[in-house]
A and B are shown apart, each in its own frame.
Chain A
């Protein structure tokens, strides 16, 4: 059974701009749900540079990527947005005047009055190793994420990588796998020391194998793996028989499904007008790094401005019969009530 959620606006992407959109919409009494493929909020700020400084947020001389994310979360708290993390929006359809249906890869369906695409540089997706023919195995015997552990019971598994994802899944899957081999390009692991120790203990006890090298070729048929070739650092090749491979090489930003929603795109960006940051489809907005217009700068501050203007136009779709009165947060009691300070 698909769950259907009714709300005013769905924001696709919980990067800094998507988060601030909650604030601007909230001031206008517009409720929002946010969906992000990452398991955390903050987009590029949280995923790519949490510890690095940002110096050009107006009024804030210095803040880290993570610091800004936390500050935004604090700022939007009064509006109680609902987050759907670890989910990718796969479909967006306009179903009527001020009516959209938005679907995610976990089968959730939203019905809303306007959609805000704040998808930044696209969705963060796993890096795909450059192995000839790997596409044929993907989602059949090569997986970049574990959705159901049971799927791997009694299989011969190849886990590739040296970070926490590779180590965690090694430790989680080792007990149920028929045989597990961890492949990493060097004998040092950057993952949590405790996980590294547990993994090494399993190797010492003969419970799993560790191979130092890089996977260079795959064998199999009809999408089902039979074996992988591992090239050692001395150039030697070895063959590891396996039923499934799980490569963990981190994430990269790819445009993803945005291109399939029928919205007009130019060089992987969504052209918008600069009065409301609306796409060619009325009610479908694009703000932040994903949009383009003459003079566009991919800066957080530009995204914030775009969110404010977007909200004014979104109001007309959500409350077609009401008239919007411009107010300041400094002096408006009604805005302050919404913010929980009056």
Chain B
């Protein structure tokens, strides 16, 4: 039998384990999910039905409804937003120094274990 793409657990891509991302919703609900390298944190959230991500513009950095607050410990590793993203953050609410638009965070091996918090409200 062929190995299924969506098989949970020990799936490997190029021999490396898939990075895990931990989403914590505003009410504390915690989801640990696997993320495909090269996709975005926003796509990972939608694929796994994480609450609090709307992503109205489908990842084109024009809606600011995919806001996440990166966990303090992870913020330096994830890095700051680009100027274009920083401008778009003006259309988000309750923006913190660690806030990012999740469609602008690309999943890399270095982000294995990343913790992000999703807000209660994205403007709708």
A322 part of interface (Cβ distance < 8 Å): no
Chain B contacts for A52, CB-based, 8 A: 60
Chain B contacts for A185, CB-based, 8 A: 89-90, 95
Considering the complex, give the chain B residue whose CB is closest to the CB of A50.
B62
CB <8 Å contact, B94 and A130: yes
Q: Which of B34-42, B43-51, B107-115, B116-124 contacts A (4 or more CB under 8 A)?
A: B116-124
- A52–B60 Cα gap in the complex (Å)? 8
CB <8 Å contact, A49 and B65: no
Chain B contacts for A49, CB-based, 8 A: 57-58, 60, 62
- A184–B86 Cα gap in the complex (Å)? 13
Q: Which of A30-38, A70-78, A249-257 contacts B (4 or more CB under 8 A)?
A: A249-257
Considering the complex, give the chain A residue whose CB is closest to the CB of B99.
A185
Chain A contacts for B91, CB-based, 8 A: 127, 163, 249-250
Considering the complex, give the chain A residue whose CB is closest to the CB of B57.
A48
Counting chain B CB atoms within 10 Å of each CB, the highest count among A127, A129, A233 belongs to A127
**Given A127-B91, A185-B95, A249-B91, A254:B124 Cβ within 8 A:** yes
Chain A contacts for B95, CB-based, 8 A: 185, 214
- A164–B56 Cα gap in the complex (Å)? 21
Chain B: interface secondary structure? loop
CB <8 Å contact, A127 and B124: yes
- A34–B91 Cα gap in the complex (Å)? 29
Chain A contacts for B60, CB-based, 8 A: 48-49, 52
- A162–B123 Cα gap in the complex (Å)? 16
CB <8 Å contact, B65 and A252: yes
The number of chain A residues with a CB under 8 A from chain B is 23
* Size bin of chain B's contact surface: 20 to 34
CB <8 Å contact, A162 and B57: no
CB <8 Å contact, B124 and A252: yes
CB <8 Å contact, A190 and B87: yes
User: What is the CB-to-nearest-CB distance from B92 to chain A, in angstroms, rounded to a whole number?
Assistant: 8
Q: Which of B69-124 contact A (CB under 8 A)?
A: 86-87, 89-95, 97, 120-124
User: What is the CB-to-nearest-CB distance from B75 to chain A, in angstroms, rounded to a whole number?
Assistant: 15
User: What is the CB-to-nearest-CB distance from A126 to chain B, in angstroms, rounded to a whole number?
Assistant: 9
B63 part of interface (Cβ distance < 8 Å): yes
A161 part of interface (Cβ distance < 8 Å): yes
CB <8 Å contact, A48 and B63: yes
- A184–B92 Cα gap in the complex (Å)? 12
A177-214 interface mask toward B, CB cutoff 8 Å, 1 = contact, 0 = none? 00000001110101000000000000000000000001
- A40–B14 Cα gap in the complex (Å)? 48
- 24 pairs, A vs B, C-beta closer than 8 Å: A48-B60, A48-B62, A127-B91, A127-B93, A127-B123, A127-B124, A129-B93, A130-B94, A130-B120, A130-B123, A163-B90, A185-B95, A190-B90, A214-B93, A214-B94, A214-B95, A249-B90, A249-B93, A250-B63, A250-B64, A252-B54, A252-B56, A252-B123, A253-B124
Chain A residues proximal to chain B, CB less than 8 Å: 48-49, 52, 121, 127-130, 161-163, 184-186, 188, 190, 214, 233, 249-250, 252-254
Closest A-B pairs by Cβ, 5 of them: A127-B123, A250-B91, A190-B87, A252-B124, A162-B90
